[in-house]
Amino acid sequence: MASAEEIATQLAYEFLRTGRYSASSGPVEIPGLAIAAASADDGEILEYANRAEGFSGLAIQSVGFEEGSENPAVHIYLTRGAARQMRALPGEVDGVPIRVHKMGPISVRPEAMAGSTNRGNIFERQNRICCGSSCGPTSERGVGTFGAIVKIGAGQDLFLLSNNHVLSGCNHVPHNQPILAPANMDGRADAVAPHEIGRHHMLHELRSGDPHFVVPGGIDLALARVSNPNAVSSWQGDPSDGYDTPAAVSEPYSLLGVKKFGRTTGLTFGEVEARITAPTPIIYTAKNFKGTVWFKDIWTVRAKEGEHFVLPGDSGSLVVSEDGSSAVGVVFAGNPSGDYGFIIPMPAAVAVFGGLGLVNRHGV
């Protein structure tokens, strides 16, 4: 009997090979994925993937699997599909439950964040800007979330952690460009005026291209050097419902309850759903960057029923366990309705830039 991971791997391989992923330009062969799929070769899985009638008109966003749950399921995420077709698909493969969700197209458009109808959150504690607040570089119209304060290795300098597409304009913000909180577009009469909290310092490059040649990544992160340590706080969110950034880092796992503070939706709660190990394409559209970036080893988080988890502008938010004891990821994308977020797992996030350490008890 195949495992949930093996089934997800082979389904993803077949969907990519037959051109069913909506964000890819057509059929895609990924050598490493082909090898992994071959090791999980199973006639029942192939039969499911190749059901011409069932998958006609359905467009795939990604395929993931539960990790850490008692009876792990495979999750197929669709950008497009009729409810009738979704209901007609078998509910299991080789004894493993299959869950199909329509989440809509996933794309990252930094300037679209500026069009959000929500007012940008700016959280303060002891006259310091808190994590979870609006931020953005002076050179861009986009806006996102200041997720956490970090240190690099054994160094003592403080840095702001967020996404590349928030702080770096998808690779194109100049080094040392001022980072404001709140972002320019979020300045308003009843809140603190936008002011410098950091300077753009370092990014993890976003790369687009055919995954046969460009190795799929999974890191959309950047750092800004803190301009004035007395102007920022490691506190997440508002004084009443907020919490300090945890120092501990842990791997996400399925069914884990989580929460986050973000620029657009503030405090929201969700549940980690599935791990996506097979390469999945996400379209990026920015002022100076347009292309399909392939991610792997990311996770989905589903909002609690009837609520949002993330909306445009929440990119960069730090996701922590519901009890606040450990950080599990950084938001970098979400679906149009806001009930799904995509996160970079925290162990992968802190491994970049020479190794990062989360800072807590700073200005709280």
Confidence of residue 221 (pLDDT cuts 50, 70, 90): very high
329 token code pair: 């990821």
Helix (H, G, I), strand (E, B) or coil at 99: strand
Q: In this model, does residue 6 exceed pLDDT 70?
A: yes
Neighbour-count burial of 123, counting CB atoms closer than 10 A to its CB (0-12 exposed, 13-18 middle, 19+ buried): buried
* Burial class of residue 229 (count of CB atoms within 10 Å of its CB; 0-12, 13-18, 19+): middle
- What is the C-alpha separation between 291 and 285, in angstroms, rounded? 7
Range name among 13-22, 33-42, 252-261 with the lowest pLDDT average: 33-42
Six token digits for residue 241: 């419902």
Span 211-231, average pLDDT: 92
**What does the DSSP assignment read for 111-155?**
HHHTT-SSPPP--EETTEEEET-EEEETT-S--EE--EEEEETT-
Q: What is the β-pairing status of strands 96-102 and 74-80?
A: parallel
pLDDT bracket for residue 120 (50, 70, 90): confident
Average pLDDT over residues 33-51: 69
- Mean of the per-residue pLDDT values of the chain: 91
Query: Which of 258 and 216 is assigned the larger pLDDT?
Result: 258
Q: What is the pLDDT of residues 312-355, one digit of tens each?
A: 999 999 999 999 999 999 999 999 999 999 999 999 999 999 99
Q: What is the pLDDT of residue 31?
A: 78
Beta carbons of 357 and 151 less than 8 angstroms apart: yes
User: Is-contact 294 280, C-beta < 8 A?
Assistant: yes
Encode burial over 5-35: b for 16+ CB neighbours within 10 A, e otherwise. bbbbbbbbbbbbbbebbbbbeeebebeebee
Q: Would the pTM of this model clear 0.75, i.e. be above it? A: yes
Mean pLDDT within 4-12:
92
Residues in the chain: 364
Determine the number of helices (DSSP H) and then strands (DSSP E) in the chain. Answer: 8, 25
pLDDT of amino acid 308: 92
Q: 230 vs 18, which has greater pLDDT?
A: 230
Rounded percentage of the chain residues whose pLDDT exceeds 90: 72
pLDDT, one tens digit per residue, over 132-181 is 999 999 999 889 999 999 999 999 999 999 999 999 999 999 999 999 99
What mean pLDDT do residues 245-255 have? Answer: 98
Q: Please compute the mean of the pLDDT values over residues 38-54 and round it to a whole number.
A: 66
Asked if residues 98 and 73 have their Cβ atoms less than 8 Å apart, the reply is yes
188 φ/ψ angles, rounded to the nearest 5 degrees: -155, 170
| Residue 52 pLDDT greater than 60, yes or no | no
Higher pLDDT, 30 or 48: 30
> How many other β-carbons are positioned within 10 Å of the β-carbon of residue 333?
25
Residue type (1 letter), 256:
L
- Residue 53 pLDDT > 60: no
Residue 32 and residue 13: Cα distance in Å, rounded? 10
At 258-280, the pLDDT tens digits run 999 999 999 999 999 999 999 99
Taking only the tens place, the pLDDT of each residue in 63-91 is 999 999 999 999 999 998 888 888 888 88
Read off the pLDDT band of 118 (50, 70, 90): low
Whole-angstrom Cα distance, residue 252 to residue 255? 9
**Cα distances (Å, whole numbers) of residue 68 to 73, 273, 274:** 11, 10, 10
Q: What is the DSSP letter of 105?
A: -
pLDDT (0 to 100) of residue 113: 67
Question: In percent, how much of the chain has pLDDT > 70?
Answer: 95
Q: Is the pLDDT of residue 306 over 90?
A: no
Is pLDDT larger for residue 94 or for residue 322?
322
